[in-house]
Amino acid sequence: MCAMTGCSLLGGNIKSTTSYIDIGKVEDLRAANAVANNNLGSCVRVIAEYSNGNGSNASGFVVSKDGYVVTNRHCAVRFKSTNTDIGYNSYEKPLKANYTLVFANNIKYTAELKAYSTTADIAVLKIKTPLLTGEFQPVTFETQSPIYYGDKLYTIGNPENIGLILTELMVSAPSIVLNSSDSFGSIILDGNINHGNSGGPLFNVNSRVIGIVYARIDGQDEDAYGLGCGIPADTIMEFLDKNNIKYQTTPAITESGAKQ
């Protein structure tokens, strides 16, 4: 059988950049360069310290200028009854926790848990301290481009405690339902998904978020190494809408085909 494994760990320090590169206008620029340049300043390491003494370290990304951050539920939520992100019953409250978010330039912020999904591995944190020099840099969600077999994707996360780094991936399958309780079809990823990548955004070649990393598939009875799983952007945006959290998307297309 194959087991789903969440990711964790922490470390590193990479200088962030904020200028935006339009890859459509720079034909000789590699997509990976643009993804890193455009989005490294939006990605964070998520450090959770729970009241029972346990901890969790993972990845996340800013979705709003006022400091809302998306990560995985299993990276931010623990229940006393199970010591996992799934409680014994639906009425149980999660353990209290202290959250620290570390940006690529090593600036740290405290945060609080604002919401988590019971049907998908998604949680939202809110940075407590406002940014004194302006606004936080959010990612942009893709709303116009479907996902195909063989598409090249990238994630920025913190694999194996080495800091925020860029990893290249490929779409092995755009949508597969892995569990009967899933309310979405997982994006199956071919590439190096490791402990610490959980909660990291999945970018397409246009630097837009098409999903979030939430697990890797570990081989047990049979080898399955090198495969990971992502939650699609539509599921993330539905959850943000439900919780009245604003986020950025690609321009909408009108009936005439013009961008609004």
At 162, the pLDDT band (50, 70, 90 cuts) reads: confident
Of the listed ranges 15-29, 75-89, 151-165, 245-259, the one predicted with least confidence: 15-29
Of the listed ranges 28-42, 73-87, 242-256, the one predicted with least confidence: 242-256
Of the listed ranges 52-66, 121-135, 139-153, the one predicted with least confidence: 121-135
| Whole-number pLDDT of residue 158 | 87
User: Please, which residues have CB within 8 angstroms of residue 28's CB and are 6 or more apart in sequence?
Assistant: none
Answer with the residue of higher pLDDT: 135 or 203.
203
| Whole-number pLDDT of residue 15 | 41
Asked if 59 and 199 touch (Cβ cutoff 8 Å), the reply is yes
| Whole-number pLDDT of residue 219 | 60
How confident is the prediction for the chain on average, in pLDDT? 84
- 65-117 pLDDT tens trace: 999 999 999 999 999 999 999 989 988 999 999 999 999 999 999 999 999 99
At 211, the pLDDT band (50, 70, 90 cuts) reads: very high
Answer with the residue of higher pLDDT: 2 or 108.
108
Set out the domains of the chain in order of their start, with CATH numbers.
Answer: 140-242 (2.40.10.10)
User: Please, which residues have CB within 8 angstroms of residue 212's CB and are 6 or more apart in sequence?
Assistant: 61, 70, 72, 122, 199, 200, 201, 202, 230, 231, 236
At 30, the pLDDT band (50, 70, 90 cuts) reads: confident
Answer with the residue of higher pLDDT: 177 or 10.
177
At 170, the pLDDT band (50, 70, 90 cuts) reads: very high
What single DSSP character describes residue 166? E
Quick one: what percent of the chain has pLDDT higher than 90?
62
User: Please, which residues have CB within 8 angstroms of residue 106's CB and are 6 or more apart in sequence?
Assistant: 13
Mean pLDDT of 127-133: 77
At 160, the pLDDT band (50, 70, 90 cuts) reads: confident
| Alpha-carbon 175 to chain mean position | 17
State the burial class of residue 53 (Cβ atoms within 10 Å of its Cβ: 0-12, 13-18, 19+): exposed
| Whole-number pLDDT of residue 196 | 87
| Whole-number pLDDT of residue 4 | 57
The structure tokens listed for 99 are: 């959250």
Determine the 3-state secondary structure of 36 from DSSP: helix
At 22, the pLDDT band (50, 70, 90 cuts) reads: low
| Whole-number pLDDT of residue 1 | 38
